[in-house]
A and B are shown apart, each in its own frame.
Chain A
Amino acid sequence: MLDKTGIARRIAKEVKDGMYVNLGIGIPTLVANYIPEGISVVLQSENGLLGMGPFPFEGEEDADLINAGKQTITTLPGSAIFDSAMSFGMIRAGKVDLTILGAMEVSENGDIANWKIPGKMVKGMGGAMDLVASAQNIIVAMQQVNKNGESKLLKTCSLPLTGVKCVKKVVTELGVYEVKNNAFYLLEMAKGVTIQQIKEATSGKLVIEGKIPEMNL
Protein backbone atom coordinates (compact mmCIF):
# COMPACT_ATOMS: atom_id res chain seq x y z
CA MET A 1 0.00 0.00 0.00
CA LEU A 2 1.29 3.44 -0.91
CA ASP A 3 1.47 6.60 1.14
CA LYS A 4 0.77 10.02 -0.39
CA THR A 5 4.34 10.29 -1.59
CA GLY A 6 4.02 6.93 -3.31
CA ILE A 7 0.89 8.04 -5.13
CA ALA A 8 2.69 11.19 -6.26
CA ARG A 9 5.73 9.15 -7.40
CA ARG A 10 3.55 6.83 -9.46
CA ILE A 11 1.68 9.71 -11.11
CA ALA A 12 4.97 11.42 -11.93
CA LYS A 13 5.64 8.52 -14.31
CA GLU A 14 2.65 9.65 -16.39
CA VAL A 15 4.36 12.96 -17.08
CA LYS A 16 6.09 12.91 -20.45
CA ASP A 17 8.67 15.15 -22.06
CA GLY A 18 7.23 18.34 -23.53
CA MET A 19 3.97 18.32 -21.59
CA TYR A 20 2.18 21.33 -20.15
CA VAL A 21 0.79 20.16 -16.81
CA ASN A 22 -1.59 21.63 -14.23
CA LEU A 23 -1.22 20.26 -10.72
CA GLY A 24 -4.03 20.61 -8.19
CA ILE A 25 -3.65 21.20 -4.47
CA GLY A 26 -2.68 18.33 -2.13
CA ILE A 27 -1.10 15.10 -3.42
CA PRO A 28 -0.92 16.48 -7.00
CA THR A 29 1.39 19.27 -5.84
CA LEU A 30 3.86 16.62 -4.64
CA VAL A 31 4.09 15.19 -8.16
CA ALA A 32 6.38 18.08 -9.15
CA ASN A 33 9.05 16.66 -6.81
CA TYR A 34 9.24 13.32 -8.63
CA ILE A 35 9.23 14.24 -12.31
CA PRO A 36 12.01 12.07 -13.80
CA GLU A 37 15.42 13.57 -14.60
CA GLY A 38 15.91 14.62 -18.19
CA ILE A 39 12.23 15.31 -18.80
CA SER A 40 11.24 18.84 -19.62
CA VAL A 41 7.72 19.81 -18.56
CA VAL A 42 6.08 23.17 -17.98
CA LEU A 43 3.84 23.56 -14.94
CA GLN A 44 0.81 25.79 -15.34
CA SER A 45 -0.57 27.65 -12.36
CA GLU A 46 -4.06 28.86 -13.15
CA ASN A 47 -3.64 32.22 -11.45
CA GLY A 48 -1.58 33.14 -14.48
CA LEU A 49 1.82 31.47 -14.82
CA LEU A 50 3.48 28.97 -17.13
CA GLY A 51 6.81 27.68 -15.91
CA MET A 52 6.27 27.48 -12.17
CA GLY A 53 9.55 27.07 -10.33
CA PRO A 54 10.30 25.80 -6.82
CA PHE A 55 9.62 27.67 -3.59
CA PRO A 56 11.98 30.63 -3.06
CA PHE A 57 14.81 30.58 -0.55
CA GLU A 58 14.14 32.28 2.78
CA GLY A 59 14.25 36.04 2.31
CA GLU A 60 13.59 35.86 -1.41
CA GLU A 61 9.80 35.49 -1.18
CA ASP A 62 7.87 37.86 -3.44
CA ALA A 63 4.28 38.66 -2.43
CA ASP A 64 3.52 39.33 -6.11
CA LEU A 65 4.58 35.85 -7.18
CA ILE A 66 2.35 33.03 -5.95
CA ASN A 67 0.77 29.86 -7.26
CA ALA A 68 -2.89 28.89 -7.31
CA GLY A 69 -2.51 27.53 -3.77
CA LYS A 70 -1.40 31.06 -2.76
CA GLN A 71 2.09 29.77 -1.91
CA THR A 72 5.16 31.85 -2.67
CA ILE A 73 7.00 30.40 -5.67
CA THR A 74 9.60 31.36 -8.28
CA THR A 75 9.71 31.60 -12.06
CA LEU A 76 12.10 29.67 -14.30
CA PRO A 77 13.96 30.59 -17.48
CA GLY A 78 11.23 30.67 -20.12
CA SER A 79 8.34 31.40 -17.74
CA ALA A 80 5.39 33.45 -18.95
CA ILE A 81 2.80 35.45 -17.01
CA PHE A 82 -0.72 36.29 -18.16
CA ASP A 83 -4.13 37.22 -16.83
CA SER A 84 -6.80 34.88 -15.42
CA ALA A 85 -8.97 34.92 -18.56
CA MET A 86 -6.07 33.84 -20.76
CA SER A 87 -5.07 31.24 -18.18
CA PHE A 88 -8.45 29.57 -18.42
CA GLY A 89 -8.53 30.26 -22.14
CA MET A 90 -5.54 27.98 -22.65
CA ILE A 91 -7.16 25.39 -20.37
CA ARG A 92 -10.50 25.60 -22.20
CA ALA A 93 -8.81 25.41 -25.59
CA GLY A 94 -7.15 22.13 -24.61
CA LYS A 95 -3.59 23.45 -24.66
CA VAL A 96 -2.78 21.97 -21.24
CA ASP A 97 -1.84 18.33 -21.84
CA LEU A 98 -2.35 16.85 -18.40
CA THR A 99 -4.35 17.81 -15.33
CA ILE A 100 -3.75 16.06 -12.02
CA LEU A 101 -6.17 16.69 -9.20
CA GLY A 102 -7.61 15.23 -6.03
CA ALA A 103 -11.17 13.97 -5.57
CA MET A 104 -13.69 12.99 -2.93
CA GLU A 105 -15.47 10.59 -5.31
CA VAL A 106 -15.06 9.23 -8.84
CA SER A 107 -17.75 7.20 -10.61
CA GLU A 108 -17.30 4.37 -13.10
CA ASN A 109 -18.35 6.64 -15.99
CA GLY A 110 -15.64 9.19 -15.12
CA ASP A 111 -17.71 11.73 -13.17
CA ILE A 112 -15.81 13.51 -10.42
CA ALA A 113 -16.95 15.18 -7.18
CA ASN A 114 -14.39 17.23 -5.30
CA TRP A 115 -15.78 20.62 -4.29
CA LYS A 116 -18.77 20.41 -2.00
CA ILE A 117 -20.11 18.36 0.89
CA PRO A 118 -23.76 19.19 1.62
CA GLY A 119 -24.20 20.46 5.17
CA LYS A 120 -20.59 21.58 5.42
CA MET A 121 -19.13 25.00 4.69
CA VAL A 122 -18.77 25.36 0.94
CA LYS A 123 -15.55 27.07 -0.01
CA GLY A 124 -16.08 27.04 -3.75
CA MET A 125 -14.93 25.20 -6.83
CA GLY A 126 -12.07 27.54 -7.67
CA GLY A 127 -10.76 26.47 -11.06
CA ALA A 128 -11.65 22.78 -10.73
CA MET A 129 -14.82 22.87 -12.85
CA ASP A 130 -13.05 24.68 -15.67
CA LEU A 131 -10.16 22.23 -15.56
CA VAL A 132 -12.20 19.03 -15.58
CA ALA A 133 -14.56 20.31 -18.29
CA SER A 134 -11.76 20.94 -20.76
CA ALA A 135 -8.62 18.98 -19.89
CA GLN A 136 -7.39 16.51 -22.50
CA ASN A 137 -6.22 14.06 -19.91
CA ILE A 138 -7.26 14.00 -16.27
CA ILE A 139 -5.60 11.83 -13.64
CA VAL A 140 -7.09 11.73 -10.18
CA ALA A 141 -4.84 11.24 -7.16
CA MET A 142 -6.69 10.08 -4.07
CA GLN A 143 -7.13 7.65 -1.22
CA GLN A 144 -9.41 4.85 -2.38
CA VAL A 145 -11.50 4.71 0.79
CA ASN A 146 -12.74 7.49 3.06
CA LYS A 147 -12.29 7.81 6.81
CA ASN A 148 -15.25 5.47 7.38
CA GLY A 149 -13.68 2.79 5.21
CA GLU A 150 -16.13 3.38 2.35
CA SER A 151 -15.02 3.21 -1.26
CA LYS A 152 -14.59 6.44 -3.21
CA LEU A 153 -14.63 4.59 -6.55
CA LEU A 154 -18.39 4.39 -7.06
CA LYS A 155 -21.12 3.40 -9.45
CA THR A 156 -22.46 6.96 -9.25
CA CYS A 157 -21.15 9.87 -7.20
CA SER A 158 -23.26 10.80 -4.18
CA LEU A 159 -21.75 14.27 -3.73
CA PRO A 160 -22.44 17.28 -5.98
CA LEU A 161 -20.47 16.86 -9.20
CA THR A 162 -17.53 18.92 -10.36
CA GLY A 163 -17.59 17.51 -13.87
CA VAL A 164 -19.03 14.64 -15.90
CA LYS A 165 -17.39 11.80 -17.86
CA CYS A 166 -13.95 13.36 -17.67
CA VAL A 167 -11.62 11.25 -15.48
CA LYS A 168 -9.31 9.01 -17.51
CA LYS A 169 -7.17 7.48 -14.81
CA VAL A 170 -7.14 7.12 -11.02
CA VAL A 171 -4.09 6.42 -8.87
CA THR A 172 -4.73 5.41 -5.25
CA GLU A 173 -2.77 3.83 -2.40
CA LEU A 174 -3.92 0.44 -3.74
CA GLY A 175 -3.69 0.60 -7.49
CA VAL A 176 -3.86 2.31 -10.87
CA TYR A 177 -7.19 2.26 -12.72
CA GLU A 178 -8.20 3.27 -16.19
CA VAL A 179 -11.75 4.63 -16.36
CA LYS A 180 -13.48 3.44 -19.54
CA ASN A 181 -16.59 1.56 -20.75
CA ASN A 182 -18.35 2.50 -17.48
CA ALA A 183 -15.86 0.59 -15.35
CA PHE A 184 -12.60 0.83 -13.43
CA TYR A 185 -10.01 -1.31 -15.24
CA LEU A 186 -7.27 -2.35 -12.83
CA LEU A 187 -3.92 -1.70 -14.51
CA GLU A 188 -1.45 -2.08 -11.63
CA MET A 189 -1.46 -3.00 -7.97
CA ALA A 190 0.67 -1.49 -5.22
CA LYS A 191 3.24 -3.74 -3.59
CA GLY A 192 1.74 -6.03 -0.94
CA VAL A 193 -1.87 -5.37 -1.99
CA THR A 194 -4.19 -8.27 -2.82
CA ILE A 195 -6.96 -8.52 -5.41
CA GLN A 196 -9.33 -9.04 -2.49
CA GLN A 197 -8.32 -5.68 -0.96
CA ILE A 198 -8.87 -3.97 -4.33
CA LYS A 199 -12.31 -5.54 -4.68
CA GLU A 200 -13.35 -4.51 -1.18
CA ALA A 201 -12.23 -0.94 -1.82
CA THR A 202 -14.01 -0.58 -5.18
CA SER A 203 -17.74 -0.03 -5.06
CA GLY A 204 -18.21 0.70 -8.80
CA LYS A 205 -17.73 -1.87 -11.55
CA LEU A 206 -14.22 -3.30 -11.43
CA VAL A 207 -12.63 -5.10 -14.36
CA ILE A 208 -9.55 -7.27 -13.81
CA GLU A 209 -8.11 -8.74 -16.99
CA GLY A 210 -5.23 -11.23 -16.86
CA LYS A 211 -2.33 -10.96 -14.47
CA ILE A 212 -2.05 -7.48 -12.95
CA PRO A 213 1.51 -6.20 -12.63
CA GLU A 214 2.91 -4.67 -9.48
CA MET A 215 3.26 -0.91 -9.51
CA ASN A 216 6.78 0.11 -10.36
CA LEU A 217 7.97 3.28 -8.67
Chain B
Amino acid sequence: MNKVIANAKEGIKDIKDGMTVMLGGFGLCGIPENCIDALVKSGVKDLTCISNNAGVDDFGIGLLLKSKQVKKMISSYVGENAEFERQLLSGELEVELVPQGTLATRCMAAGYGMPAIFTPAGVGTEVAEGKEIRNFNGKDYLMEMAFEADFAIVKAWKGDTMGNLIYKSTARNFNPVMAMGGKITIAEVEELVPAGELDPNQIHTPGIYVHRIFEGKNYEKRIEQRTVRPEDLKT
Protein backbone atom coordinates (compact mmCIF):
# COMPACT_ATOMS: atom_id res chain seq x y z
CA MET B 1 0.00 0.00 0.00
CA ASN B 2 1.55 3.26 -1.06
CA LYS B 3 -0.46 6.42 -0.54
CA VAL B 4 2.44 8.81 -0.16
CA ILE B 5 2.97 11.22 -3.01
CA ALA B 6 5.62 13.85 -3.52
CA ASN B 7 3.61 17.03 -3.51
CA ALA B 8 0.38 18.84 -4.27
CA LYS B 9 1.03 18.88 -8.02
CA GLU B 10 1.08 15.10 -8.09
CA GLY B 11 -1.97 14.94 -5.86
CA ILE B 12 -4.22 16.99 -8.09
CA LYS B 13 -2.84 15.87 -11.46
CA ASP B 14 -6.02 14.06 -12.56
CA ILE B 15 -8.52 16.69 -11.43
CA LYS B 16 -10.08 17.60 -14.75
CA ASP B 17 -12.20 20.45 -16.10
CA GLY B 18 -15.79 20.33 -14.87
CA MET B 19 -15.16 18.09 -11.86
CA THR B 20 -16.65 18.51 -8.38
CA VAL B 21 -14.17 19.03 -5.56
CA MET B 22 -14.69 19.28 -1.81
CA LEU B 23 -12.24 21.62 -0.07
CA GLY B 24 -11.86 21.49 3.71
CA GLY B 25 -11.59 24.52 5.98
CA PHE B 26 -13.68 27.12 7.77
CA GLY B 27 -12.85 30.61 6.59
CA LEU B 28 -9.08 30.45 6.08
CA CYS B 29 -8.64 28.02 8.99
CA GLY B 30 -7.59 24.52 8.03
CA ILE B 31 -7.61 25.03 4.26
CA PRO B 32 -5.43 22.90 1.96
CA GLU B 33 -3.10 25.73 0.94
CA ASN B 34 -0.67 23.61 -1.08
CA CYS B 35 -3.34 21.96 -3.20
CA ILE B 36 -5.15 25.24 -3.85
CA ASP B 37 -1.87 26.68 -5.16
CA ALA B 38 -1.37 23.59 -7.32
CA LEU B 39 -4.90 23.86 -8.73
CA VAL B 40 -4.27 27.49 -9.65
CA LYS B 41 -1.03 26.54 -11.43
CA SER B 42 -2.69 23.59 -13.20
CA GLY B 43 -5.19 25.88 -14.91
CA VAL B 44 -8.02 23.34 -14.49
CA LYS B 45 -11.33 25.10 -14.97
CA ASP B 46 -15.12 24.91 -14.61
CA LEU B 47 -14.75 23.39 -11.16
CA THR B 48 -17.67 22.95 -8.81
CA CYS B 49 -16.26 23.63 -5.33
CA ILE B 50 -17.99 22.41 -2.19
CA SER B 51 -16.53 24.47 0.63
CA ASN B 52 -18.06 26.27 3.60
CA ASN B 53 -16.57 29.57 2.46
CA ALA B 54 -14.97 31.01 -0.66
CA GLY B 55 -11.77 32.44 0.78
CA VAL B 56 -10.76 36.08 0.54
CA ASP B 57 -9.65 37.96 -2.56
CA ASP B 58 -6.01 36.96 -2.46
CA PHE B 59 -6.02 33.76 -0.43
CA GLY B 60 -7.73 30.40 -0.22
CA ILE B 61 -10.41 29.65 -2.78
CA GLY B 62 -10.31 33.35 -3.67
CA LEU B 63 -7.20 32.50 -5.71
CA LEU B 64 -9.18 30.03 -7.83
CA LEU B 65 -11.95 32.59 -8.27
CA LYS B 66 -9.49 35.26 -9.34
CA SER B 67 -8.17 33.00 -12.11
CA LYS B 68 -11.77 32.13 -13.08
CA GLN B 69 -11.41 28.41 -12.54
CA VAL B 70 -14.64 28.01 -10.58
CA LYS B 71 -17.96 27.50 -12.31
CA LYS B 72 -20.02 26.93 -9.19
CA MET B 73 -19.61 27.34 -5.44
CA ILE B 74 -21.63 25.30 -2.95
CA SER B 75 -21.17 27.08 0.38
CA SER B 76 -22.95 28.36 3.48
CA TYR B 77 -21.33 31.79 3.72
CA VAL B 78 -19.38 33.69 1.10
CA GLY B 79 -19.24 37.21 2.48
CA GLU B 80 -15.53 38.04 2.55
CA ASN B 81 -14.64 38.20 -1.10
CA ALA B 82 -15.10 41.15 -3.49
CA GLU B 83 -14.10 39.23 -6.64
CA PHE B 84 -16.67 36.59 -5.72
CA GLU B 85 -19.36 39.26 -5.53
CA ARG B 86 -18.33 40.72 -8.88
CA GLN B 87 -18.46 37.34 -10.63
CA LEU B 88 -21.76 36.46 -9.00
CA LEU B 89 -23.44 39.72 -10.01
CA SER B 90 -22.09 39.48 -13.57
CA GLY B 91 -23.42 35.93 -13.91
CA GLU B 92 -19.99 34.33 -14.43
CA LEU B 93 -20.32 32.32 -11.23
CA GLU B 94 -23.11 30.10 -10.01
CA VAL B 95 -23.71 29.79 -6.26
CA GLU B 96 -25.74 27.32 -4.24
CA LEU B 97 -26.15 28.44 -0.64
CA VAL B 98 -26.62 25.59 1.81
CA PRO B 99 -27.18 25.82 5.57
CA GLN B 100 -23.90 25.05 7.28
CA GLY B 101 -25.08 21.99 9.19
CA THR B 102 -26.72 20.63 6.07
CA LEU B 103 -23.50 21.15 4.14
CA ALA B 104 -21.45 19.25 6.72
CA THR B 105 -23.98 16.45 7.06
CA ARG B 106 -24.33 15.97 3.28
CA CYS B 107 -20.55 15.41 3.21
CA MET B 108 -20.79 13.03 6.16
CA ALA B 109 -23.66 11.09 4.58
CA ALA B 110 -21.49 10.44 1.52
CA GLY B 111 -18.79 9.00 3.77
CA TYR B 112 -21.32 6.90 5.68
CA GLY B 113 -22.83 5.44 2.52
CA MET B 114 -26.20 7.09 3.09
CA PRO B 115 -27.92 8.63 0.05
CA ALA B 116 -29.77 11.36 1.90
CA ILE B 117 -30.44 12.94 5.26
CA PHE B 118 -33.46 14.61 6.88
CA THR B 119 -32.94 17.96 8.57
CA PRO B 120 -35.28 20.66 9.85
CA ALA B 121 -32.87 23.40 8.69
CA GLY B 122 -34.55 25.47 6.00
CA VAL B 123 -38.12 24.21 6.48
CA GLY B 124 -40.49 27.05 5.61
CA THR B 125 -37.75 29.00 3.78
CA GLU B 126 -36.61 29.24 0.18
CA VAL B 127 -34.05 26.51 0.89
CA ALA B 128 -36.99 24.06 0.98
CA GLU B 129 -38.21 24.89 -2.53
CA GLY B 130 -38.48 21.78 -4.65
CA LYS B 131 -37.37 19.45 -1.88
CA GLU B 132 -39.23 16.53 -0.38
CA ILE B 133 -40.60 17.18 3.12
CA ARG B 134 -41.31 14.37 5.56
CA ASN B 135 -43.00 14.66 8.92
CA PHE B 136 -41.50 12.67 11.78
CA ASN B 137 -43.11 12.85 15.21
CA GLY B 138 -44.97 16.03 14.35
CA LYS B 139 -42.02 17.99 12.95
CA ASP B 140 -41.19 18.67 9.30
CA TYR B 141 -37.82 17.73 7.84
CA LEU B 142 -36.24 18.39 4.44
CA MET B 143 -34.66 15.57 2.53
CA GLU B 144 -31.17 16.64 1.50
CA MET B 145 -29.00 14.49 -0.74
CA ALA B 146 -25.50 13.26 0.05
CA PHE B 147 -22.89 15.07 -2.01
CA GLU B 148 -21.16 13.34 -4.87
CA ALA B 149 -17.67 14.71 -5.25
CA ASP B 150 -14.97 13.45 -7.61
CA PHE B 151 -12.28 14.58 -5.19
CA ALA B 152 -11.99 15.77 -1.62
CA ILE B 153 -8.97 17.84 -0.63
CA VAL B 154 -8.31 18.17 3.07
CA LYS B 155 -5.68 19.58 5.38
CA ALA B 156 -4.60 17.81 8.57
CA TRP B 157 -2.00 18.47 11.24
CA LYS B 158 -0.37 15.04 11.28
CA GLY B 159 -0.73 12.06 9.03
CA ASP B 160 0.99 8.74 8.53
CA THR B 161 1.94 6.72 5.47
CA MET B 162 -1.28 4.67 5.82
CA GLY B 163 -3.32 7.87 5.38
CA ASN B 164 -4.47 8.15 8.99
CA LEU B 165 -5.08 11.76 9.97
CA ILE B 166 -5.10 13.93 13.09
CA TYR B 167 -6.31 17.52 12.99
CA LYS B 168 -5.38 20.42 15.24
CA SER B 169 -7.81 22.69 17.12
CA THR B 170 -10.65 24.20 15.10
CA ALA B 171 -8.70 23.60 11.88
CA ARG B 172 -10.54 20.29 12.06
CA ASN B 173 -13.94 21.80 11.03
CA PHE B 174 -15.10 20.34 7.68
CA ASN B 175 -11.94 18.37 6.99
CA PRO B 176 -12.94 15.00 8.53
CA VAL B 177 -16.37 14.89 6.87
CA MET B 178 -14.97 15.93 3.51
CA ALA B 179 -12.17 13.38 3.82
CA MET B 180 -14.91 10.77 4.16
CA GLY B 181 -17.07 12.23 1.42
CA GLY B 182 -14.86 12.31 -1.69
CA LYS B 183 -14.51 9.50 -4.20
CA ILE B 184 -10.78 10.18 -4.11
CA THR B 185 -9.39 11.99 -1.08
CA ILE B 186 -6.13 13.92 -1.09
CA ALA B 187 -4.71 14.89 2.30
CA GLU B 188 -1.98 17.43 2.84
CA VAL B 189 -0.45 17.40 6.31
CA GLU B 190 1.97 19.54 8.24
CA GLU B 191 3.87 16.50 9.43
CA LEU B 192 3.96 13.11 7.70
CA VAL B 193 5.24 10.23 9.83
CA PRO B 194 5.81 6.50 9.25
CA ALA B 195 2.95 4.11 10.06
CA GLY B 196 3.07 3.21 13.72
CA GLU B 197 4.08 6.60 15.04
CA LEU B 198 0.56 7.90 15.54
CA ASP B 199 -1.45 6.50 18.43
CA PRO B 200 -4.37 4.54 16.90
CA ASN B 201 -6.58 5.83 19.73
CA GLN B 202 -6.04 9.40 18.61
CA ILE B 203 -6.80 9.05 14.88
CA HIS B 204 -9.60 11.34 13.66
CA THR B 205 -9.80 10.10 10.05
CA PRO B 206 -8.94 6.44 9.42
CA GLY B 207 -6.68 5.93 6.41
CA ILE B 208 -9.29 3.92 4.49
CA TYR B 209 -10.82 7.26 3.51
CA VAL B 210 -7.53 8.75 2.31
CA HIS B 211 -6.05 7.81 -1.06
CA ARG B 212 -3.14 10.21 -1.37
CA ILE B 213 -1.11 11.96 1.30
CA PHE B 214 1.85 14.31 1.31
CA GLU B 215 3.66 16.67 3.63
CA GLY B 216 2.84 20.22 2.65
CA LYS B 217 5.19 23.15 2.96
CA ASN B 218 5.31 26.90 3.51
CA TYR B 219 1.98 27.13 5.32
CA GLU B 220 0.96 30.76 5.67
CA LYS B 221 -2.06 30.08 7.93
CA ARG B 222 -3.46 33.53 7.45
CA ILE B 223 -5.70 34.88 10.22
CA GLU B 224 -8.91 36.49 8.98
CA GLN B 225 -9.93 38.35 12.16
CA ARG B 226 -7.03 38.89 14.55
CA THR B 227 -8.63 39.61 17.91
CA VAL B 228 -6.71 40.00 21.18
CA ARG B 229 -7.50 41.08 24.72
CA PRO B 230 -5.69 43.88 26.53
CA GLU B 231 -2.37 43.00 28.16
CA ASP B 232 -3.44 44.63 31.44
CA LEU B 233 -5.81 41.70 32.03
CA LYS B 234 -2.76 39.46 32.24
CA THR B 235 -2.69 39.26 36.01
Q: Which residues of A are at the interface with B, using a C-beta cutoff of 8 A?
A: 45-49, 54-58, 60-73, 75, 81-85, 87-89, 91-92, 111, 121-130, 133-134, 160-165
Contacts and interface: CB of A to CB of B under 8 A. Distances in A.
B119 interface: yes
A129 B121 contact: yes
Given A48-B170, A85-B107, A63 B120 contact: no
B231 A57 contact: yes
Given A63-B29, A63-B223, A126 B76 contact: yes
B171 A64 contact: yes
Interface string B14-48: 00000000000011111000000000000000000
Top 4 A-B residue pairs of the complex, sorted by shortest distance between their CB atoms: A88-B101, A123-B79, A130-B101, A164-B124
Contacts, number: 179
Contact of B226 (A47, A54, A61, A68): A61
B50 to A, nearest CB: 12
A49 to B, nearest CB: 6
A124 B76 contact: yes
B163 interface: no
Contacts of A127: 76, 99-101
Contacts of B30: 64
B170 A54 contact: no
B222 interface: yes
Main secondary structure of the interface of A (DSSP, over half): loop
B67 to A, nearest CB: 22
A68 B104 CA distance: 14
Given A83-B104, A85-B107, A134-B121, A70 B224 contact: yes
Contact of A123 (B77, B107, B126): B77
Contact of A81 (B97, B122, B169): B169
A69 B89 CA distance: 25
| Interface size band for B | 35 or more
A72 B121 CA distance: 28
B123 A84 contact: no
Interface string B95-121: 001011111110110000000000111
B52 interface: yes
B71 interface: no
A85 B177 contact: yes
12 contacts: A56-B228, A61-B226, A64-B29, A69-B225, A82-B172, A85-B105, A89-B101, A123-B79, A125-B127, A126-B99, A162-B125, A164-B123
Contact of A133 (B75, B79, B119, B229): B119
A122 B100 contact: no
A75 B228 CA distance: 14
Contacts of B77: 123-126
B231 to A, nearest CB: 6
Nearest to B234: A57
Contacts of B169: 62, 64-65, 75, 81
A70 B169 CA distance: 13
A66 B99 contact: no
A69 B224 CA distance: 9
Contacts of B120: 92, 133-134
Interface in B211-235: 221-229, 231, 233-234
A48 B173 CA distance: 6
A125 B170 contact: no
Contacts of B224: 66, 70
Nearest to B221: A63
Interface in B178-235: 204, 221-229, 231, 233-234
Contacts of A84: 26, 52, 100-101, 103-104, 173-174, 177
B105 A88 contact: yes
A45 B169 CA distance: 12
